[in-house]
């Protein structure tokens, strides 16, 4: 999710579960619920820095615990400087709850998160929602700001409010987000079933994925891998939806060769393949041998659903690596902030 959505979700969680938290405790909770997105700055690092940092170290349970401890210690120093009825333990629980909410929301996307780093580099990606989901954003905005307006009206007419202001609205917003994610889960399962039930250019699917579109929850972006090709296709799910597998854009895999095998076993390729969901190789003949580029398919997909880095390897006819590097994929970079 984008940082604004995470900040709103953290604030809604504060109102619903920790309504008595002080202003400094609320700030600590919002920081704990958004600080993992500092790895967005890796977009301005080198390609290797991006592969190493984006959705990895900071998006882990270990980092969530560490950040929650840090903000709790900062709160403890603030408490020592003045009176504050909220304990640092409560601040830790609140910040850790916000950090966990951040990880769970990002796990519902396609980029994935390394929850169990440093013990495992496996990425968890459910593919239910897009990087910026307008529906979740609108639900949280309504849950946070409508109770504020209601409270102002209540104060204006002199009525007394019962309980902490905005708690009911926050509960309803978080419940609506959960119901929305459940609906996304069902629609995603339907999209996968549709993709798996068809043939593509006469071949059956070996692996499929359905990526969420940011607008309608009924529109999905499908990627299908068959024996000889990768297919990029748009589809809709729901009552009356039709799907034509022949509308897929097909990209055929290159034939196997010693150069391609050597390229895939290179150090830069291993780093790339750890992140890319559907790697696709392009092999060109050169005077020295072969020029191999590994990119994440499809090339025009939103960067949040794919890897904006490509691996470039040159090899001689026998498969000996002559040069290798990671570079930015220009087709993905142009979509990064959209």
Q: What is the mean pLDDT of each run of 10 residues along the chain (338 residues)?
A: 94 93 89 94 91 94 95 71 68 95 96 93 93 93 78 45 74 96 96 96 96 90 96 91 92 90 93 92 92 85 68 91 92 52
* Residue 151: per-residue pLDDT: 52
Q: Do 18 and 110 fall into the same domain?
A: yes
Residue 241, pLDDT score? 87
Residues 235, 297 within the same domain = no
State residue 79's pLDDT score: 57
pLDDT of residue 43: 86
- 43 and 100 in a common domain: yes
pLDDT of residue 160: 52
The pLDDT score that the predictor gives to residue 158 is 45
The domain boundary, picked from 220, 251, 282, lies at: 251
Q: For residue 57, what is the enclosing H or E element?
A: none
Alpha helices per DSSP H over 46-204: 47-53, 61-81, 88-107, 134-156, 167-196
Joined together, the tokens standing for residue 320 give 């000996």
Q: Are 200 and 318 contained in the same domain?
A: no
Residue 221 backbone dihedrals phi, psi, to 5 degrees: -110, 115
The reply to whether 215 and 122 lie within a common domain is no
Q: How many domains does the chain have?
A: 3
Domain span including residue 327: 254-333
Q: Clarify whether residues 48 and 105 are in a common domain.
A: yes
Q: What are phi and psi of 16, to 5 degrees?
A: -80, -45
| pTM for the predicted model, two decimal places | 0.88
Residues 6+ apart with CB under 8 A from 337: none
């Amino acid at each position: 999710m984008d940082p604004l959505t995470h900040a709103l979700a953290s604030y809604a969680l504060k109102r619903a579960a920790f309504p008595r938290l002080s202003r400094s405790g609320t700030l600590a909770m919002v920081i704990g619920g958004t600080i993992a997105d500092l790895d967005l700055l890796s977009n301005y690092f080198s390609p290797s820095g991006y592969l190493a940092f984006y959705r990895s170290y900071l998006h882990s349970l270990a980092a969530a615990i560490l950040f929650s401890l840090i903000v709790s210690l900062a709160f403890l120093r603030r408490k020592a400087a003045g009176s504050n009825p909220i304990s640092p333990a409560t601040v830790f629980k609140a910040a850790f709850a916000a950090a966990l909410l951040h990880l769970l929301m990002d796990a519902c996307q396609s980029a994935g998160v390394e929850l169990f780093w440093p013990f495992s580099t496996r990425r968890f990606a459910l593919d239910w929602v897009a990087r910026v989901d307008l529906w979740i954003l609108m639900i949280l905005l309504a849950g946070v700001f409508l109770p504020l307006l209601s409270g102002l009206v209540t104060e204006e007419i002199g009525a007394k409010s019962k309980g902490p202001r905005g708690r009911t609205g926050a509960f309803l917003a978080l419940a609506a987000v959960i119901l929305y994610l459940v609906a996304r889960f069902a629609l995603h399962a339907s999209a996968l079933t549709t993709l798996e039930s068809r043939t593509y250019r006469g071949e059956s699917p070996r692996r499929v994925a359905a990526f969420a579109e940011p607008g309608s929850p009924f529109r999905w972006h499908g990627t299908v891998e068959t024996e000889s090709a990768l297919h990029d296709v748009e589809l809709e799910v729901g009552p009356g939806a039709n799907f034509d597998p022949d509308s897929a854009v097909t990209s055929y895999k290159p034939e196997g060769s010693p150069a391609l095998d050597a390229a895939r076993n290179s150090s830069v390729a291993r780093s790339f393949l750890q992140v890319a969901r559907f790697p696709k190789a392009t092999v060109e003949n050169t005077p020295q041998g072969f020029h191999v580029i590994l990119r994440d398919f499809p090339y025009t997909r939103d960067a949040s659903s794919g890897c904006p880095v490509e691996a470039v390897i040159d090899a001689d006819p026998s498969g000996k690596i002559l040069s290798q590097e990671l570079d930015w994929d220009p087709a993905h970079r142009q979509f990064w902030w959209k």
